[in-house]
Amino acid sequence: MKKSISFHIYKGDKYYVAEGVGVPIVTQGKTLDILHKNMAEAVQVFLYRENPRQLGIVKNPAVLFSGELDVAHA
């Protein structure tokens, strides 16, 4: 059983975007704080609609995320 749901975060044209890795969850937010709140809500909705056990996910998974950083070249 998976104990976590992972997200990849990147900056879009206007919003930060979080895409679930291996799960069909996508959300966005104008700031990273809003994005984090939206991620938590999106996970709750996903787990409410789906049966976590059938997906191999524990009932209350941790939420992990990685992101992209823009690196200025000198």
What are 35-73's pLDDT values in tens digits? 999 999 999 999 998 888 888 888 888 988 887 766 665
pLDDT at position 26, please?
98
The amino acid sitting at 60 is N
Residues counted in the chain: 74
Say what the pTM is.
Answer: 0.81
Burial class of residue 63 (count of CB atoms within 10 Å of its CB; 0-12, 13-18, 19+): middle
pLDDT at position 66, please?
82
